[in-house]
Amino acid sequence: MDKKELRVKLLVKRENISDREIEERSRGILGKLKEMDEFKRARTVMIYVSFGKEIRTWEFIQECLALGKEVITPICNNKDGTLILGKTPEFPEGFKQTKFGILELPACNCNHADIEDIDFIVMPGLAFSKEGGRLGYGAGYYDKLLEHKSEKTVTVAPSFEEFVLENLPIEPHDVRMDYVVTDSKIYKSSDYLPKE
């Protein structure tokens, strides 16, 4: 099955999860993520703003702000297919809904951050592998962004356990996640990759 077919199949599967179940499971998954030492040490955290049936991040964004972390949220630059990184001093105040229904800060009304200054990135995606592989939505925004991240930046993907797949189609340019955090486990990608 190619990436396009897999995306369609997984989107249908995810749509069948009730909103209530998503809320409950999201809290558990993000609760685990908050206990990670890498998160506790992080000063600057980039977090996607959840949409549709994604793992819910709104409450998590507010918790990060309350902890005194500098929060960065992504803004899609549709002109060149890149992400602008918006410094987010409060949430959801100041955010506007895009034509796709996603909440974003207006790029012209916020201070921008540099990917190299981010300590911890919470990544969206449709499916993942234990080895840190990620199947996104196909636009490549995050792949382009992660090419420029610092070596110290930790990438973490929250996921429902049933969306961690054995045979995920991965291409050489795809950037692996350092961790995949699910309802039942934290997968550290380096534990599952072949040793060099």
Known binding-site positions for substrate = 49, 54
Which residues belong to the annotated binding site for ATP?
3-7, 134-142
CA 4/CA 6 separation, integer angstroms: 5
Which residues belong to the annotated binding site?
3-7, 49, 54, 134-142
Q: Which of 130, 185, 163 is nearest to 15 (CA)?
A: 163
CA 8/CA 11 separation, integer angstroms: 5
Residue with tokens 């993907």: 157
H runs (alpha helix) in 35-161: 37-41, 58-66, 141-146
Residue type present at position 76: C
Contacts 24+ apart (CB under 8 A), 78-85: 81/139, 81/140, 81/141, 81/144, 82/141, 82/144, 82/145, 83/141, 83/142, 83/144, 83/145, 84/112, 85/46, 85/112, 85/113, 85/114, 85/115, 85/118
